[in-house]
Amino acid sequence: MLDQAFDALKKLDYGADLKPLEAIDAAIVASQKDAALQKDLETRLLAVLKSDAPDDAKGYVCRKLMIVGTPASVAALDELLPQEKYSHMARYALERIPAKEAAAALRDSLTKVNGPLKIGVIASLGARRDADSVAALIAQLSDSDEQIVRAAATALGSIATVDAAKALAGVKPTGVAKSAVVDAQLACAEAILAAGNKAEALAIYKSFAGGDQPKHIKLAGTRGMLACAGKKD
Amino acid sequence: MGRKPLSQLGSTRRDFIKAGSAALATPYFVSSSIFAKDDKPAPSDRLVVAGIGLGNMGSGDQGGFLNRSDVQYVAVCDVRKGPREAAKGKVDKKYGNKDCKDYVDFREILARDDIDVVHIATPDHWHAIQVIEACRHGKDVYCQKPESRTIREGKLMVDTARRYARVVSGGSQRVLEDYKKQVEPAWAGELGPIKSINVNVGPLSTICNLPAEDLPPDIDWEMWLGPAPWAPYNSKRCSGGFNTKGNTWRSYVDYSGGGMTDWGAHHFGGATFAVDVRELQPEQVIFHNDKDGKWVEMKYANGIAVTHNRPKTGNMVIEGTPGEKREAKPVPTYKGGKNIYGDFIECVKTREKPFRDIELAVNTVILSHLATIAYRLERTLKWDSAKQEFTGDAEANRFLDTARREPWQI
């Protein structure tokens, strides 16, 4: 059954019945307790990914590598990151594979991709909350493209370290990056306060509590200051 | 654009707010009866509302807001020309003018400072991005159910709403209105200590592999797909019908959790309300596979279980303690008006939490997500609600979210 499923997968294109592929899903469930089966599945999936199978088939492979992929899948997925039609599905797998190699591949690709693809990679690093990527993401805050700045700020807000907060405080965002940079700083303040560092958190909140900030941002700053003081608003 | 009268008087509603001594904690809604006519609030007193996603559910939501005298409805957004124009037409007809602005890109609505409230009824894969972005721009939000498509989305929606003290309501009116038969005796204490409640709902969502069709000119396909994997246009793929067996986006994993989340948002919402675990998340998801089939049991720290598809058990059946009674508690209800829209609008004015506060809504839909993951892996899971992750379970944690297509991000 599994052989037939992979034969069907190699030809998978939009409009084809997915029923013949159900054996792959069953094998994925079984592979949780069978390391050899997991390895076999991953090897078969990677063979399809590296073949001239239709794009739909490769997308399906990435969906399954999200579940069973290991460091052994990273190199093949990494090759797809700079390719416009595959980049997202490569991240679909890489973002969720719990291995430092997957994070490293995403991080290293920041020098190989631009525009929307770079935004996607930045978003995936943020979703992984990859602390090893903070420096690389901080570097993106000085990009001339405000969409890149926006993405990097959001990712740094997800990772929410003191270093991220300090870097964000030095940004003078424009256009679409503005709300993301503010939001990221507030997210950092929440994490920093939760970790017990009241002074650092208070400094961030204070910077938003006054001035000509929009009302909801002032409110966030003021509420944060109250939280630092151990008071509820 | 609406709301001209005040500016003609050389002032704006926001000037009134700015001048208000109560400052930060006050709602946007302020009283200025000097501008009112008859029994209707003056335009300056109305909440300024816009709609994002105006198909089947969005159209109904629009009616719920548009018909209120305390709302000034000013803008609509939909990536499909037909629903967009129909929605604008309703607003213009209501006000007898052509002032309602229509947009394809929701970000243009969120960038408008004059809009206080947005209601969102896009396909589920858009909800988190739009709710989070709306909160970042200071809007209060009414979002259709199921509010999140992944577990990570739900957490971030709640965090962002709380960060800016936004009033964010989920969208199931059925939670309060459809399950009184279960809710009332349970809250009256007539069932004694409650052990469990069962929900029968489904199916799970599947991968969509529909063939390409010719792309019609009246839809922005890239914006319809948004954060979902690229796929060719197919009319069933983007149909907003209510079927979850392949003829609508509700059937497919890239856009929805299938019937499990679609009706699950109602049934699990009613179930968690009836047995009063709305403010909690379960700590264990027990997968059963016995002679009667596969089913899931989600156990809370207080011992109550919400089960899914428990064999030989009807939908919304409560297992109490026969012969025992508990102290009665007053049943929570809407804070304003007689429906979920009135409740939300009242809370926007008072800054209270609405009946379907986003945190309670997320606590509902997470049951659908947790059960789905247990079914996909066919095993029992341990859930840490504080950390929002499965304990010591890297495989299950892969399912907490999916990567979004560039340039979309949460």
Q: Do B229 and A85 touch (CB under 8 A)?
A: no
Give chain A positions within 8 Å (CB) of B246.
none
DSSP H/E element including B397: helix B394-397
Do residue B209 and residue A14 have CB atoms under 8 angstroms apart?
yes
B273 and B217 in contact (C-beta within 8 Å)?
no
**CA dihedral over B149, B153, B157, B159, signed as positive or negative:** positive
Q: Please list, in sequence order, all residues whose beta carbon lies within 8 angstroms of the beta carbon of residue B103, skipping any fewer than 6 positions away.
A: B75, B76, B77, B84, B109
Q: Which of A15, A89, A126 sits opposite B229 (nearest CB)?
A: A89
Asked if A88's CB is within 8 angstroms of B406's CB, the reply is yes
**Nearest alpha carbon to residue B230 among A64, A85, A91:** A85
- Chain B residue numbers touching A66 (CB-CB < 8 A): 398, 402
B54 in Cβ contact with B124 (< 8 Å): no
Report pLDDT for B13: 37
Residue from B309, B279, B315, B314 nearest B297 by CA: B309
**What is the dihedral sign for C-alpha A195, A199, A200, A202?**
positive
Rounded-to-integer distance, Cα B79 and Cα B56, Å = 14
Burial class of residue B131 in the structure, from the number of CB atoms within 10 Å of its CB (0-12 exposed, 13-18 middle, 19+ buried): buried
Q: Is B230 close to A88, i.e. CB distance below 8 A?
A: yes
Taking the CA of residue B402 and the nearest CA in chain A, the distance in Å comes to 6
Instruction: Write the CA distances from A139 to A148, A153, A184, B407, integer angstroms.
Output: 11, 11, 15, 19
Chain B positions touching A96 (Cβ under 8 A) are: 398-399, 401-403
Q: Please give the Cα distance from A132 to A159 (Å, whole number).
A: 10
Residue with tokens 């970000």: B107
Element (H, E) at B198: strand B196-199
pLDDT of the residue at B337: 76
Please give the span between the terminal C-alpha atoms of chain B, in angstroms, as a whole number. Answer: 30
**Where in B302-384 does DSSP place strands (E)?**
305-308, 318-319, 381-384
* Contact yes or no for A119 and B407 at CB 8 A: yes
B209 vs chain A: nearest CA distance in angstroms?
5
Pairing of strands B71-77, B101-103: parallel
Residue A232 pLDDT: 65
Q: Are strands B381-384 and B196-199 parallel, antiparallel or unpaired?
A: unpaired
Optimal mutation site among A219, A226, A231, A232, interface B, most CBs of chain B within 10 A: A219
CB under 8 Å, gap of 24 or more: what pairs does B36-42 form?
A: B39/B69, B40/B69, B41/B69, B41/B70, B42/B5, B42/B6
Of B138, B159, B407, the CB nearest to A147: B407
Rounded to an integer, what is the distance from CA B171 to the centroid of its chain?
4
Tokens standing for residue A145:
């493209």
Buried b (16+ CB within 10 A) or exposed e, B281-299: bbbbbbbbeeeeeebbbbb
Q: Per the CB < 8 Å rule, is B137 touching A147? A: no
CA distance B225 to B126: 9
- The mean predicted confidence, pLDDT, of chain A is 97
All residues of chain A having their beta carbon less than 8 Å from the beta carbon of residue B408 are 123
The complex's ipTM works out to 0.97
Give tens-digit pLDDT for A70-104: 999 999 999 999 999 999 999 999 999 999 999 99
Burial status of residue A55 (CB atoms within 10 A of its CB: 0-12, 13-18, 19 or more): middle
Q: Residue B229 and residue A88: Cβ atoms within 8 Å? A: yes
Per-residue pLDDT tens over the stretch A200-227: 999 999 999 988 999 999 999 999 999 9
pLDDT of residue A1 exceeding 60, the answer is yes
d(CA B226, CA B408): 7
Q: Could you tell me the end-to-end alpha-carbon distance of chain A, in angstroms, rounded to an integer?
A: 61
- A31-48: average pLDDT: 97
Is there a contact between A223 and B229 if contact means CB atoms under 8 Å apart? Answer: no
Distances, alpha carbon B272 to alpha carbons B143, B146, B196, B243, in Å: 19, 15, 10, 25
- Do the strands B47-52 and B71-77 form a parallel or antiparallel pair, or are they unpaired? parallel
**Residue B364 and residue B179: Cα distance in Å, rounded?**
15
Residuewise pLDDT in 10s, chain B (410 residues): 333 222 232 333 333 333 333 334 344 443 333 344 456 787 678 999 999 999 999 999 999 999 999 999 999 999 999 999 999 999 999 999 999 999 999 999 999 999 999 999 999 999 999 999 999 999 999 999 999 999 999 999 999 999 999 999 999 999 999 999 999 999 999 999 999 999 999 999 999 999 999 999 999 999 999 999 999 999 999 999 999 999 999 999 999 999 999 999 999 999 999 999 999 999 999 999 999 999 999 999 999 999 999 999 999 999 999 999 999 999 999 998 789 999 999 999 999 999 999 999 999 999 999 999 999 999 999 999 999 999 999 999 999 999 999 999 99
Judging contacts by C-beta atoms under 8 Å, the chain A residues touching residue B376 are 29
Partner-chain contact B409 A179, CB within 8 Å: no
Cα nearest neighbour of B156 on chain A: A158
User: Most A CBs within 10 Å: which of B131, B133, B163, B373, as the mutation test of the A interface?
Assistant: B163
Q: Enumerate the residues of chain B whose CB falls inside 8 A of the CB of residue A17.
A: 209
DSSP structure string for chain A: -HHHHHHHHHT--TT--SGGGHHHHHHHHHGGG-HHHHHHHHHHHHHHHHTT--HHHHHHHHHHHHHH--HHHHHHHHHHTTSTTTHHHHHHHHTT--SHHHHHHHHHHTTT--HHHHHHHHHHHHHTT-GGGHHHHHHHTT-S-HHHHHHHHHHHHHH--HHHHHHHHT----TTHHHHHHHHHHHHHHHHHHTT-HHHHHHHHHHHHSTT--HHHHHHHHHHHHHHTT---
* Strands, sheet with B389-390, edge to edge from the N-terminal-most edge strand: B318-319, B196-199, B305-308, B293-299, B284-290, B381-384, B389-390
CA B398 to chain centre: 24
Kindly state the average pLDDT of the residues A129-139: 98
HSE, side-chain direction, 13 A CA sphere, residue A160 = 20
Q: What are B358's two structure tokens?
A: 């986003």
Q: Distance between CA A101 and CA A223 in Å, rounded?
A: 40
Residue B77 β-bridge partners:
B52, B103
Nearest chain A residue to B407 by CA distance is A116
Single-letter amino acid, residue B242? F
Report the residue of B156, B208, B409, B410 to disrupt the A interface, i.e. the one with the largest count of A CBs within 10 Å: B409
**Backbone φ/ψ region at B131: left (φ over 0), alpha (ψ -120 to 50), beta:** alpha
Which residue of chain A is at minimal alpha-carbon distance from B378? A29
CA distance to partner chain A, nearest, from residue B386 (Å) = 12
CB neighbour list of residue A161: distance below 8 Å, 6 or more residues apart: A131, A134, A188, A191
Give the total residue count for chain B: 410
CB pairs below 8 Å between A and B: how many? 124
Q: Which residue of A has its CA nearest to B164?
A: A220
- Asked if A179 contacts A154 with a C-beta cutoff of 8 angstroms, the reply is no
Please answer yes or no on whether B379 and A96 come within 8 Å at the CB atom: no
CB contact under 8 Å between A97 and B398, yes or no, is yes
Say if the Cβ atoms of B406 and A98 lie within 8 Å: no
Residue B390 pairs in a beta bridge with B383
Q: How far is CA B400 from CA A4, B84, B148, in A?
A: 31, 33, 11
H/E stretch holding B285 = strand B284-290
Let me know: does B162 contact A219? Beta carbons within 8 Å: no
Contacts of A13 (CB under 8 A, 6+ apart): A54, A56, A57
Q: Which of B339, B337, B57 is nearest to B178 (CA)?
A: B339
pLDDT of residue B6: 27
**How close does chain B come to A116, measured CA to CA in Å?**
5
Chain B residues near any Cβ of chain A (below 8 Å): 17, 24-25, 107, 113, 133, 136-138, 152, 159-160, 163-166, 206-207, 209-212, 229-232, 376-379, 394-395, 397-399, 401-410
Chain B residues close to A95, C-beta within 8 Å: 401-403
Closest chain A residue to B375, measured at CA: A29
CA distance A206 to A223: 10
Residues 6+ apart with CB under 8 A from A150: A173, A176, A177, A180, A181
What predicted TM-score, i.e. pTM, was given to this entire model? 0.94
